């Protein structure tokens, strides 16, 4: 009887100790602070009188934290400040006619919660592009790269908001390949023009 009572007290002590440890662990886990980032897209006027639309399909938008001790191109193997990781904001593919974004027009491309901190680069991932002429003929643009990295330094505070507008310059991005029967290439030229 005394042995069973001693065993029960020992088991109860172990359970209380484990509960105390797990409760303390849960209390000390920090909740990451986040803010909201919005990325808009615009385009400078396209100087091609016979073009009706310039369609680009985007499949990804990723923001990269500032790298520790370097401002080079993002690399999955590099060390980011404060242990942060790149954040993907574009949830599904979207096709945009860049010609609808000229003369100050813009659209909301992506928005979402991003950990508070310093960022220095945005990556757009591109799946395809085509150009439609006013005579209703069209041409597929050959992609020189399926992604474009845009230097864009900004900071996001906890519970804060930030907004960035990117100018996808359609006129400067389309090139005629003289060595391949005049095929058209897309070499994206994208710059940040406004951030808050």
Q: Are 144 and 47 members of one domain?
A: yes
Q: Are 108 and 135 members of one domain?
A: yes
Q: Are 24 and 42 members of one domain?
A: no
Asked if residues 80 and 25 have their Cβ atoms less than 8 Å apart, the reply is no
| Share of residues in the chain with pLDDT > 90 (%) | 50
Beta-bridged to residue 192, according to DSSP, are 166
pLDDT in the model for residue 180: 61
Q: Are 103 and 8 members of one domain?
A: no
The model's pLDDT over 134-188, given as tens digits with 9 standing for 90+, comes to 899 999 999 989 999 999 999 999 999 999 999 999 888 988 776 666 688 999 9
Q: Are 76 and 172 members of one domain?
A: yes
Q: Where are the beta strands (DSSP E) in the chain?
A: 34-42, 51-65, 87-88, 94-97, 107-115, 117-133, 138-140, 142-143, 147-156, 161-168, 174-177, 183-186, 190-195
Q: Are 26 and 40 members of one domain?
A: no
Q: Are 139 and 87 members of one domain?
A: yes
Question: Which DSSP symbol is given to 80?
Answer: B
Overall number of domains in the chain: 2
Q: Are 11 and 81 members of one domain?
A: no
Confidence class for position 45, pLDDT limits 50, 70, 90: low
Q: Are 66 and 3 members of one domain?
A: no
pLDDT at 5 over 70: no
Q: Are 178 and 125 members of one domain?
A: yes
Domain hosting 119: range is: 34-195
The model's pLDDT over 69-98, given as tens digits with 9 standing for 90+, comes to 554 454 555 566 666 889 999 989 999 999
pTM: 0.71
């Amino acid at each position: 009887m005394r042995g069973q009572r001693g065993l029960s007290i020992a088991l109860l002590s172990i359970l209380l100790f484990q509960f105390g440890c797990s409760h303390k662990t849960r209390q000390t886990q920090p909740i990451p602070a986040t803010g909201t980032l919005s990325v808009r897209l615009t385009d400078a006027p396209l100087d091609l009188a016979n073009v009706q639309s310039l369609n680009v399909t985007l499949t990804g938008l990723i923001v990269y934290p500032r790298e520790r001790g370097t401002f080079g191109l993002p690399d999955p193997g590099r060390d980011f400040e404060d242990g942060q990781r790149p954040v993907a904001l574009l949830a599904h593919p979207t096709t945009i006619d860049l010609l609808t974004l000229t003369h100050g027009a813009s659209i909301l491309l992506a928005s979402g919660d991003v950990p508070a901190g310093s960022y220095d680069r945005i990556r757009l991932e591109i799946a395809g592009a085509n150009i439609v002429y006013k005579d209703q003929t069209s041409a597929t643009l050959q992609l020189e790269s399926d992604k474009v990295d845009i230097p864009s330094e900004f900071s996001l505070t906890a519970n804060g908001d930030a907004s960035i507008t990117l100018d996808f310059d359609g006129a400067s991005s389309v090139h005629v390949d003289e060595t391949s029967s005049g095929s058209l290439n897309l070499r994206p030229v994208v710059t940040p023009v406004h951030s808050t």
